[in-house]
A = this chain, B = another copy of it.
Amino acid sequence: MRQFVVVGHDVPTDPDFSLDDLAGGAGRLDVLCRCVNSALFLSHDIREDVEVHLVLADEVTVRIDGSALRYMSPDERNIASLVRKALEAKDQAIGHREAESTPGIYVSKKGFEATMDGIDGTVVELHEDGDPVVDVEPPADPVFVLSDHHDFTEDETATLADAAEERVRLGPKVLHADHSITVAHNYLDTEGFTDY
């Protein structure tokens, strides 16, 4: 399985934001929606072997399981509406247990560290000083960890450094998180740019 953890530092954890202002009042939820899109969508298909974990304000995590997902369109507004529904279901999530808001979407009151603790797989940090991705053998169950438009905080950086088994870079340019996800998928789809 491929997993993507995306940290949204400014995204509200209550559902009282407008879908008309994702890039403003919703704390750049647009960035996270594009990450969900890149992680899950193929042409006329969904990647069923993918899970996305959106960590919101280090308080709430929305997990999206491609194998169970229903009712999602690839546009930012639709994805944001499903995240908002997850936040509406937040109070049904007790402790670190999850509540399912719509098929394949689960909400829990977990911050970044608890979310990372709960994930199995080889954690890969994307970093501009990492090894070129072509020099790294594609892991069987990679977990890519990305941040929104902000850098990781000091605490997040420390948690990630503890968890990460690889630190890679995807190219000479620094990319948006959603573009990085697309490149990571292509690297895995092609077995490290060898199998087309």
Stretch at the interface among A56-64, A159-167, A174-182: A174-182
Interface string of A101-127 (1 = CB under 8 A from B): 000000000000000000000000000
Q: In chain A between 139 and 196, which residues have their CB closer than 8 angstroms to a CB of chain B?
A: 169-176, 179, 182-183, 185-186, 189-190, 193-196
Tally of this chain's copies: 2
CA distance A83 to B29 in the complex (A): 22
Q: A20-B20, A189-B172 are in contact. Are A76 and B77 (CB under 8 A)?
A: yes
Residues from chain B with Cβ under 8 Å of A73 in the complex: 23
Residues from chain B with Cβ under 8 Å of A194 in the complex: 134
Secondary structure class of chain A's binding surface, majority of residues? mixed
State whether A77 touches B20 (Cβ < 8 A).
Answer: yes
Stretch at the interface among A5-13, A34-42, A89-97: A34-42
- Cβ contact of A171, chosen from B170, B175, B189, cutoff 8 A: B189
Residues on A close to B: CB < 8 A?
Answer: 19-20, 22-23, 30-31, 34, 37-38, 41-45, 73-78, 132-134, 169-176, 179, 182-183, 185-186, 189-190, 193-196
